Amino acid sequence: MRSARCAIPLLLIIATQAAAQTTPPKPRARDLGIAARIGGTPGTLDAITDVTGVEVGQTTLISGSGKLVVGQGPVRTGVTVVHPRGKDDPDPVMGAWFTLNGNGEMTGTTWLQESGFLEGPIAITNTHSVGVVRDAILQWQVKRPGLQPWGLPVVAETFDGRLNDINGFHVKPEHVLAALEGARGGVVPLEGNVGGGTGMVCHGFKGGIGTASRTLDARDGGYTVGVLVQCNCCSRRELRVAGVPVGQEIPDLLPCSASQDPTVHSSMPRCDAAPASDGTRDDDGQGSIIVIVATDAPLLPHQLKRVATRVSLGVGLSGGKGENSSGDIFVAFSTANAHTAGDTGLAHVTMIPNARINPVFYATVQATEEAMLNAMLAANTMTGANDVRVYALPVNRLMAALKKYGR
């Protein structure tokens, strides 16, 4: 019976991916000239996949509409997977993690902090699907050679219960396996309403998955820093884009109820009601953000901890403040220093001296800020469980706000 229930979402996954390949893509920050205002030099793809070897896979689950029926839907969720060296290379990478505010979860971080190595893929999903995603990664890993006899997968989450039947537990092992096996490198991953970000809300606009990258100047080593975010955080009034208070310029279009049934989400403002102008409808920064930083710069674990910490500055430039109810958790890894995790005798590693690490910090901050914006730019307006509607960031009004402030 379970396989019959999963068949419909899987068909919708195929349809969603096909549509994304045939529909003209929405403009990204670089297309709009905003990446240049943020600073730095984007990579060829302006994505985490600019870091050689990195692959991203996603499974998107969208089905149903109308009133929430737990276990049936509506479903607006999924899973996103990042393979540091690609799905066919089990060689661990050096890594580290950091939490700006800990109202969230990222499994596997105890051993990551202790060992300094990330062993296997990183996955992001919804809050109530962390366990099934973790277990599915283990099922996938134990069938592949080259791994130690145990696994402690890194799986992170944000809460999509506003739009998704989160207590219906719709993410299944087969969805995780599809993301793991379908991961690709060398292309820009789909952004917005996809994968783990399908049902997420960012600064009160439709959010989700976003990515960006920066390439260092040749004099700084020419290394690449790539970032992928699952953005489900932050207050509308705090939204900044390239320093411009965009959230204050677009105070309307907040999440609302599109239901014609007044008993459904009666405490939520109706979409057809007059917009509030006093900010009382703002959500005060509820939600979370997960950020993955990849680089080919030769950094050791203690340096990657410093990189992961700098993600906070990119989130802050976008308007995130590490609010009390937010789970802001970040992980960074380096694909340099291959084959140093195994017991092969004395390991020889290279590293950037601390005195030369600042360009990596700058790139991390810039790529994080842009990735958050790309998540909103790519996302479409979505109506989910109980007809809750979350609007897409209107590009014309964004550009008007930037123009108003001379940006």
CATH number of the CATH domain containing 92: 3.60.70.12
**In angstroms, rounded to a whole number, what is the distance separating the alpha carbons of residues 268 and 271?**
9
- With tokens 């730095």, the residue in question is 40
Quick one: tokens of 176?
């995780």
Q: How confident is residue 285, by pLDDT bands cut at 50, 70 and 90?
A: confident
Place of tokens 């820093």: 225
Tell me: the pLDDT tens digits for 82-105? 999 999 999 999 999 999 999 999
What's the DSSP call for residue 172?
A: -
Strands 154-158 and 122-126 turn out to be: parallel
Is 64 a domain residue? Answer: yes
In total, the chain counts a number of residues equal to 407
- How far does the chain reach from its first CA to its final CA, in angstroms? 56
pLDDT surpasses 60 at 3:
no
User: Quick check: is 213 catalytic?
Assistant: no
pLDDT value of position 62: 98
Contact (Cβ atoms closer than 8 angstroms) between residue 98 and residue 361: no
pLDDT (mean) for 162-181: 98
- Taking residue 335's Cβ as centre, other Cβ atoms within 10 Å add up to 22
Residue tagged active-site, from 50, 283, 328, 387: 328
Of 12-21, 48-57, 232-241, 313-322, the range with the lowest mean pLDDT is: 12-21
Residue 95 lies in a domain: yes
- In this structure, of 53-57, 115-119, 342-346, 377-381, the range with the lowest mean pLDDT score is 342-346
Mean confidence (pLDDT) of the chain: 92
Q: What is the 3-state secondary structure (H, E, C) of 98-132?
A: EEEEECCCECCHHHHHHHCEECCCEEEEEHHHHHH
Residue 265: which domain range? 2-13+27-340+347-404
- Strand 93-102 versus strand 55-63 pairing type: unpaired
Sign of CA dihedral 233, 237, 240, 243: negative
What is the number of structural domains in the chain? 1
Which token pair is 51? 């870091």
Asked if the structure places residue 362 within a domain, the reply is: yes
Q: Among the options 129, 257, 326, 334, which is catalytic?
A: 326
Q: What pTM value is reported for the model?
A: 0.94
Query: What are the angstrom distances between the C-alpha of 52 and each of 93, 188, 218, 265?
Result: 13, 13, 17, 46
326 is catalytic: yes
In a domain, 22, yes or no: no
Residue 19 lies in a domain: no
Active-site entry in 63, 235, 259, 288: 288
User: Would residue 63 show up in a list of annotated catalytic residues for this protein?
Assistant: no
Q: How confident is the model at residue 286 (pLDDT cuts 50, 70, 90)?
A: confident
Beta bridge partners of 154: 122
| Separation in Å, CA 226 to CA 214, 300, 349 | 6, 17, 22
